[in-house]
Amino acid sequence: MRCLVTGAAGFVGSSLCDALLGQGYEVIGLDCFLDYYPRFIKERNLSAARDFERFTFAEANLLEADLPALLQDAEIVFHLAAQPGVRASWGTTFDRYSDNNVLATQRLLEACRTTRPRRIVFASSSSVYGNPDHLPVKESDHTPPVSPYGVTKLAAEHLCGLYYTNFQVPTVCLRYFTVYGPRQRPDMAFHRFIRSGLLREPIEILGDGNQTRDFTYIDDVVQVTRASADAGTPGNTYNVGGGARWALRDVLSTLERVLNISLEIRRGPAAPGDVRDTFADTSLARRELGFAPSTTVEQGLRNEADWLIGSLDGGPGADPP
C-alpha cells in the first residue's frame, strides 16, 4: 500500500514514516522544511527512512506542490504538515499559520476530490478546546480556541468536515494532546526541560506550575494514527491523549528522579494563548480505533532523556558541528 505523509520530516511525521516503512508500506514523504526550528534536525529525523528503497522524499510546500502527481496511487494520506507553536502564532507571523495550516489543508483536500484516496487522516490539536468548562473533554464539547494557532487547526478540521459532507472525501481528524518522546521539537517543554537539566542550566517555566496537561507518548500516537487509516469512521474526530492528567510541578519532580539531579526552576508569567488544563476523554478512540496508550509519563521521560543524552554525546540527536 502506498501512503503520502505530509510533514514527513517533523517529530510525529518522521516517526510515522519509520513505522509505516517497518510494516512494509511504500511511503512518499513531503516536507518543505519550514524554518520554525533548524533544518538539520529535520534532516536527521529522515535518516532512518532514507535507508528504505520504498521511501520517496519530495521537498515541496503544499501551497505549490504538484499534488495530483504526489497523490497518484496513494491509498492513505496522513496530513501532519503544519506551522506549529501556540506562542508564536500571535502578531505579524499569523500569515504563516493561515497559509500552512488552513490554505494548505484546503488545497490538499481539493486535490483529494480527484485522486480519491481511501482515507485522509488529519492531525489536529487539543488547542481547539481552549480553556474547557469541564474535564475530561469529549469530541462533542464546545471548541473555543484561545490562540491563533488553535483557530487555524479548528478551521482545518472544519474544512475536513466540509469536504467529507459535500464531496465524500473520507477524512478523519485526530486531536493530539501534548505529544512527547524522542525527536520532540526543541521548543517543546519536555525537550527544553531535559536538555537544561542535563546541561545543569536553569529551567524556565511559564505560570505557577499547577497547570495540567494530558501528555501522550509518540509511540502511542503513531499506533493510533496508523489505526485510524483503517478503522477510523470518515467524518469523525477522535481525541488522542495519554490517559492521565499531570501537573507541571509533578512532571518536574519526576524528571528530577529520572535524571537523578536537582533542577533549578525559574518562573515567569503565563503566556497568552497557553491553556490552563487539558485532559482527553479517549473513549471513542478506544472503542473505534483500539487505542490503548501504554507508555507512562515516567517511562516516556526516560526514553526522551536517553535520546537527548545521545545528542549531547554526539549520537543520533547530535547538534551539527
Rg of the chain, C-alpha, whole Å: 19
Quick one: which of 24, 211, 213 has its CA closest to 125?
A: 213
Task: Provide the angle, in degrees to the nearest 10, between the axes of the packed helices 218-231 and 11-22.
Answer: 60
Q: Would you name the residues annotated as active-site residues?
A: 149
Angle at 312 between CA 14 and CA 198, to 5 degrees: 105
Quick one: which of 222, 189, 200 has its CA closest to 16?
A: 222
Is the Cα dihedral 288, 289, 290, 295 positive or negative?
negative
Q: Are 147 and 160 in contact (CB under 8 A)?
A: no
Residue 190 to residue 202: CA distance in whole angstroms: 14
Task: Provide the angle, in degrees to the nearest 10, between the axes of the packed helices 148-167 and 104-115.
Answer: 20
Residue 31 to residue 83: CA distance in whole angstroms: 12
Q: Residue 166 has which C-alpha cell?
A: 459535500
- How far lies 296's CA from each of 242, 252, 255, 265, in Å? 8, 15, 13, 24
Could you please report the per-residue DSSP string of 47-115? TTGGG-TTEEEEE--TTTS-HHHHHTT-SEEEE------SGGGSGGGHHHHIIIIIIHHHHHHHHHHHH
Could you please report the per-residue DSSP string of 18-52? HHHHHTT-EEEEEE---TTS-HHHHHHHTTTGGG-
- What are the φ/ψ torsions at residue 175 (nearest 5 degrees)? -95, 100
